[in-house]
Amino acid sequence: MTLRVRVSMSMILLSIMSLLTAGPARAAAPGDVVSAQPTTVYLLPGRLLEVPVNAWHLRYNSTSATGAVNTVSGTLLVPRAGYPLGTRPIIGYAFGTHGLGDQCAPSVSMSQGREAELALVSLFLLKGYAVAMTDYEGLGTPGPHTYMAGISQGHAVLDAIRAATRVSGAGLSATAPVGIMGYSQGGASAAWAAQLQPSYAPELRLRGVAAGGVPADLHAVAQHLDGSADFGLAAAAGVGLDAAYPELDLEADLNDRGRALLADAADDCVGDLSKLAGLRFADLSPIDLLNQPKWLTRLAENRLGATPPRVPMFLYHARGDQIIPLAVGSTLRTEYCRAGVRARWLSLPAPDHVTGAIEGGPLAIEWLALRILGLPASSNC
């Protein structure tokens, strides 16, 4: 009995000493992996054609638009073959608009073989690059999707890349050369990642960013979409910004019809937003929402162009873009050029927004590949 008491006391003393001498637990950091579960992605519906890569469904820490720690989901794809040119590069790929509900998340659509943008992602995989893709805040994780809150989206892109380097078994290096690409919502997210990277993720070896169809000025885009066939996108952006910034209190400013319509759209995927086609903000609210001081403040905060990226930028836009006016993209190019950014601008002959992604995507990928190789970027400012 005496021996057992002595052993027990010794164990208690050792436990106390370890608690006294242990340093404080490290706080959750942006890019920390919360979970990384092996998954499978498919190119075709019905899970008919598996993409031959190592794949993980990720949950990782990031930062909201207001600076709070959050958890975001995403997918990491790594080619199974070794990379012959040294350290395997990592591409942060930012998806375009998918919708507001969790079932719309890119991670879900890739696992079901219905992700159109996987065709572009595959071009990176064929080059041997790893691709880290975010679902963005609230799309695939609890809470509402903060759609078009650019600061949150930029953080999510950068932290997906950080998380990729911390996935056990992925074989990726924190010193890997990095590129970022996106179109539409993804274009805004990519540009925000470029602007935020020097202060938020300076350790990433970012070589260049390709951003297409960029909704750089949300106020201008919302005015353009008011009453159009694509008004649902503007309404969804209002829902997303309201989720990011609670003081906007959108519901309080809506009329009964507006509350019913936006509540119904709160978990819609992008194709379902067509139910709002032709509506105006005036149909949803008795006040001029876009010009309320609280909205003007947050819209200005999420306007791209004020902080110049430090890496080369490839900006491309469809001349016939019916959703994001060409002038919005051209203005961003002008502001970046004025600030000394090495910007390459391409105005595409595409007749609409979606065709701009198809025409410009492969060109953007080849431009990024040259930056990954370390070749200098030219500017046509």
Give 1-11 pLDDT, tens digit per residue. Answer: 333 333 344 44
pLDDT digits (tens, 9 = 90+) for 219-258: 999 999 999 999 999 999 999 999 999 999 999 999 999 9
H or E element, residue 347? strand 343-348
Please state the φ and ψ torsions of residue 99, each to the nearest 5 degrees: 135, -165
C-alpha 186/C-alpha 176 separation (Å) is 22
Ordered by where they begin, the domains of the chain are: 33-216+311-321+339-372 (3.40.50.1820), 218-300 (1.10.260.130)
pTM of the model: 0.92
Annotate 349-358 with b (16+ C-beta within 10 A) or e (fewer): ebeebbebbe
In terms of DSSP H, where are the helices of 129-182?
150-164
**Block means of pLDDT (10 residues each) for the chain, length 381 residues?**
38 39 62 98 89 97 97 98 95 98 97 96 98 97 97 98 98 98 98 98 98 98 98 98 97 97 95 97 96 97 97 98 98 98 98 97 98 96 95
Say if CB 243 and CB 145 are below 8 A apart.
Answer: yes
What is the model's pLDDT at position 9? Answer: 43
**pLDDT for 25:** 53
Q: Specify the pLDDT at position 48.
A: 80
